[in-house]
Chain A
Amino acid sequence: MMSENNESKDYLVRVNGMSVYFPISMGIIRKRVIGNIKAVDGVSFAIRQGETLGLVGESGCGKTTTGRAILQLQRPTGGEVFFGETNLTRLEEKDIRPLRREMQMIFQDPFSSLNPRMSVGEIIGDPIKMHNLAANNRECRDQVQELMRIVGLNPGAIDWFPHEFSGGQRQRVGVARALSVKPKFIVCDEPVSALDVSIQAQIINLLEDLQAEFNLTYLFIAHDLAVVRHISDRIAVMYLGDIVEIATRSELYRNPAHPYTRALLAAVPIPDPVVEAQRVHTLLQGEVPSPLRPPGGCKFHPRCPMADSPVCANEPPALTRLKGTEHWVSCHKAG
């Protein structure tokens, strides 16, 4: 896939065949590795500067692990991750640390992603101090208050502690913290899933506004397809560690090529009874298989309504481009 679209200058983040395997070991005295959980099983994609790539999938698909692996919070077991021209996978943690300034993360749980022992001013300001972006404490404090203003928090609350804020406000603190070092790239790991519906919209709008103002690049990870479609330019769908489809958001919605994507779209209810009454509710049968023992061949084939040929059961499909489009599918039956 990479060899076809090699304008590496356009792409801020490039992921090549990245895999993250978690070994399963047995034994007390001498631990033997008896197998692997292939949380991420060789994924490749690229994100352009200023773009939002949505990463969507259900539990166990590996989307969160992918996000963490790109940032090297979880070191990949295989493949490469390029940030700009730098190959992150070859670097050691101490060399990655200064680069973290440019690639940040927003976490899912507003309740546990903030250090309860630090004031929000300290939480937001600590990264500034880590990277020496302020000359002294006064300057750091000024920067923090400005950041709080930008994300919609009252700068007067700079010395308050996280437990004194609501969930939505805490999430804004998380956003401010990510923004404090002026990064280029932010991995948003389910940033609104833990919030009330009416607050989700506030944070989504905030993220969009910030992206426009600071030319940020996002990897937006979520399980809510409606949210992902709203904020993303392109969307990648994951299933059991593989990317099964990548397309622009409109293309994905209008012409979903992979049976799993179609099932996912059909399963998302639309808040409109009239529309819903007219929709065909095709259900996906069965459950997601255990990542310990994924099916052979195409991992989706046991649940796939279209898997009728032996190739589906024996050969894993490769991510191939649908002719003449920016639409990639991993299915023997598509195209």
Chain B
Amino acid sequence: MSESEKPALATTESLETRRISQVGMKALVRTLLKHKLSRLGLTCICLLILMAIFAPVLAPYHPNDQDLYNVLKGPSKEHWLGTDNVGRDLLSRILYGARVSMTVATFATLGAIMIGAFFGLLAGFKGGVIDSIIMRTTDTFMVFPGLIFILMMAAALGPGMKNVVIAIILFGWTGAARIIRGQVLAVREEPYVEAAKASGASEWRIMFKYVLPNSIAPMIVVTALAMGAAVGMEAGAAFLGIGVQPPTPSWGRELRTGYSYLERVPLFSIAPGALITLAILSFTLVGDGLRDALDPRIRGEGKKIK
């Protein structure tokens, strides 16, 4: 037996199958950076994250500092974006607003995915009654369109950032659950899952070590898109007056307040609006880029070169 040489990579056997799970993180990022639009999206997200983290450093003023002598002023040397209706610096409020949006987006999405993944895994793997119960539950939750649901939650839970996060999680987990469940249904038929059972693995071990890691691939794309959606929902909630309460700056809230002064200081609405759009767009571009990065590999699956 002379297999002591380093195993040959890219033999014709491995040219055949390029499954999602085999596309490493590095290759993924590389492909992402190749396309202009996803590069743009990724850059913007990084900027927004930096904005959120370094807001205290970047902001020229404290966002809640009122200056009633300089109300509703346009852009000037002291206030690059102007001031709002109680004289607070708009730029600072926008920068701090990024904190809220990014935080809510991150925690809400992560929360929804983790809870959704758990239930999707359970439903897909166990099947039967458990599957039915979980799926009917998701059906119930999914009856309500997004913003209506958030409003209901706000009424039930009350306002505040924490409750917006909870509301978005409660709305979003169903989507994740369905997607993961679909993947799990396919993965659990794979021979390596049966092999684990043959080795003597317990059900929980099989679920979390063998099935779950191979079921989350499509979630990568969904996560990016979901974060964009979460930004939108938070902004929408704030716009409607629920969610983050004043004086904490939130893009949605600024958009709403600025709406009344649209003729006088259009920037008051346009600035937060633009950023909301930018954030959602960036996440969407990255999501699309991820999908494209993973897709040809999926399409290339099974093609043999003999």
Contact = CB atoms under 8 A, between A and B. Distances in A.
A131 interface: yes
Contact of A154 (B3, B19, B195): B3
A130 B22 contact: no
Nearest to B198: A105
A127 interface: yes
B201 interface: yes
A169 B7 contact: yes
A105 B197 CA distance: 10
B13 A105 contact: no
Interface stretch (A32-40, A44-52, A114-122, A288-296): A114-122
B162 interface: no
A154 B199 CA distance: 23
B31 to A, nearest CB: 17
B7 A113 contact: no
A114 B192 contact: yes
Interface in A164-197: 164-167, 169, 172, 174, 177, 181
Nearest to A174: B195
Contacts of A112: 190-192
Contact of A166 (B1, B11, B191, B195): B11
Contact of A157 (B6, B19, B194, B200): B6
Interface string A265-301: 0000000000000000000000000000000000000
Contact of B14 (A73, A115, A118, A163): A163
A104 B13 contact: no
A161 B23 CA distance: 12
Interface in B176-230: 190-192, 194-202, 205, 209-210, 213-214
A116 B200 contact: no
B25 to A, nearest CB: 12
Interface in A202-227: 202, 206
A116 to B, nearest CB: 4
B17 A154 contact: no
A115 B214 contact: yes
A73 B7 contact: no
B9 A107 contact: no
A115 B200 contact: no
A107 B197 CA distance: 12
A152 interface: yes
A154 B7 contact: yes
B137 interface: no
A107 B199 CA distance: 12
A50 B234 CA distance: 68
Nearest to A154: B4
Contact of A116 (B4, B19, B205): B19
Given A112-B190, A114-B192, A100 B198 contact: yes
Contacts of A174: 195
B198 A126 contact: no
Nearest to B23: A163
A164 B214 contact: no
A177 B197 CA distance: 12
A101 interface: yes
A127 B199 contact: yes
Contacts of A104: 198-199
B132 interface: no
Contact of A115 (B9, B196, B202): B196
A32 to B, nearest CB: 18
B248 interface: no
Contacts of B5: 154
Nearest to A156: B6
A111 interface: yes
Contacts of A307: none
Contacts of A172: 3
Contact of B21 (A100, A117, A154, A166): A117
A233 interface: no
A200 B220 CA distance: 39
B1 A113 contact: no
A207 B268 CA distance: 76
A107 B205 contact: no
B8 interface: yes
A131 B4 contact: no
8 pairs of A and B residues whose beta carbons are closest in the complex: A100-B200, A152-B1, A127-B199, A117-B213, A113-B191, A116-B21, A105-B198, A163-B22
11 contacts: A73-B197, A100-B198, A104-B198, A107-B195, A112-B192, A131-B200, A152-B3, A154-B3, A163-B17, A164-B14, A166-B14
Given A130-B202, A164-B7, 6 more contacts: A108-B191, A109-B191, A126-B196, A161-B22, A165-B7, A181-B199
